[in-house]
Structure formats: structure tokens, C-alpha cells
Amino acid sequence: MDKVALWKQIKLKSSMLCVGLDSDESKMPEFYKLTTHPQIEFNKAIINATKDIAVAYKLNTAFYETRGARGWDAMEETLLDIPDHCLKIADAKRGDIGNTSTMYAKAFFEQLKFDAITVAPYMGIDSVKPFLEFSGKWIIILAVTSNEGSKNFQFLEMKSGLRLFEEVLNTTSKWGTDSQIMYVVGATHPEYLETVRKFVPDHFLLVPGVGAQGGNLDEVMHHGVTGTGGLLVNSSRGILFAGQGEDAIPAARKEALRLQQHMAPYIR
């Protein structure tokens, strides 16, 4: 899905919602735990309940990789259930030297058919460039993350006078176009969105941290949306586990719809 198609879906649905499929089997309703493939069945129900209001789905691959071959199968099956008009994101946070990154890219873009993957830029351009060589795919580079440990490195001042996350934005934005590269900017740091937009005004930002992590959606939308730069606002646990038992899927839709309706006034 290219940038034009992504914007089309956003305007069609009045939504920038990304549903995070961090499908932890231990937290699912008992009904799904008793099925042959709990993740597949649970994900399918969530997707069917939200596909008219979500523009993207993000699979945190750790929740699948921990189950070995069965988890890999669950990712493959889940991707088949996600409509083609929704962006399919592998939240895999890969990043290694060139030949290894090429193998990661083949795994997630050719074998699993994801549209996008999160990438750590710490090892420099040779850890990112191999992903950029795959036509029609998106690379989502970690910039400002929502975890507590982000303070350890991301806000340190560099010799250039820029903070580390600013240096990442300034440097990596030259490696590809705004139709290839997105950035992760956590919702728990909405005060930095204005700064981020000075460096990458036209890029899409993947914004985790709304919902269970307490990010302020109004601040995120106000500071993050520009005329040409959109957002993918991710909620995972807040949607997946909004309810339990028979209420699980209706509650998930209700929460997704609440977020979509909150975003709608900011989308023109």
C-alpha cells in the first residue's frame, strides 16, 4: 500500500487507527483458549469487528515467535484475514548488518507478505538500506519510543547540538522518501511531536501508547497531523482486552470506535 492509498483509506474511514494484535493467549477469553488455534481465531474476530474503522494492523511478532512454528503459522493466517485495504505492519524491531537485514526483509516482505516493518537504526545505514530496496514496502524507524527506558539514550545531546532522536530523524530522512519511511513516536511523549514534525513534516508516524499506556489522543492528533504527514495511532491491549467473556469482541469494537470518533474531527 503506497502513501496515496493509505491517505485514501484514512479519509474514507475518517480514521488513523492501527489495531495492535499483541495477542497474548493467557489474556484471551476462555472460549478462544479452547480452540485449536487461539491466536488465529481471536485475531480473526478482532479484525472482523474493526476492519471498517481501522486503516492498519500491527502484529508484535514476539507474541507469535514465542510459540515457534505454530506462532509463525498464526502470523501467516492472520495476514490472510486482514483486508488488502489495511496496512499490515510487522512490529519486529529488526536491525543488523547488511546481509542479515536482507534476510530479515525477505522473511517479512516475501515470506510473510507484510507491508511494513519496524527497524532499529542503531547500526546505521547498512542496517536500514536493505529494507529500502524492496519496492512498495515501508520501513518504520524507531525515533522516540514510549517506554520508560527511552530516557537512557534518546534524549541525550549530541556534538551536533541535536538530541539523539533528532539526529536519527535528521540523518535517516535522507536515506529514503516519505513514501518509504515512517517513524515511531510514542504517544506518551506528545510534547516532542512538534519537534519531530520540524524534521519530518511529510512522513507518516506510527504512534503507540494510546490506550493502556495512557497517551493523550487529543495532543497526539493536534501536534502530529499535518497537511501531508499523517499518523497511524496504535492501540493494542486497550482494544484487544477491553472486555472479557462474551463481551470481549463487542467491547473491542466499542473501544476502537471510540478512538476513531475521537480522531475524526482532526482528519480533513
Catalytic residues: 93
Q: Residue 8: count other Cβ atoms within 10 Å of its Cβ.
A: 14
| CA dihedral angle for residue 204, residue 258, residue 193, residue 139, rounded to 10 degrees | -30
64, 98 contact by CB (below 8 A): no
| CA dihedral angle for residue 196, residue 202, residue 208, residue 214, rounded to 10 degrees | 60
141, 121 contact by CB (below 8 A): yes
Q: How far apart are CA 230 and CA 232, in angstroms?
A: 7
Q: Is 46 left (phi over 0), alpha (psi -120 to 50) or beta?
A: alpha
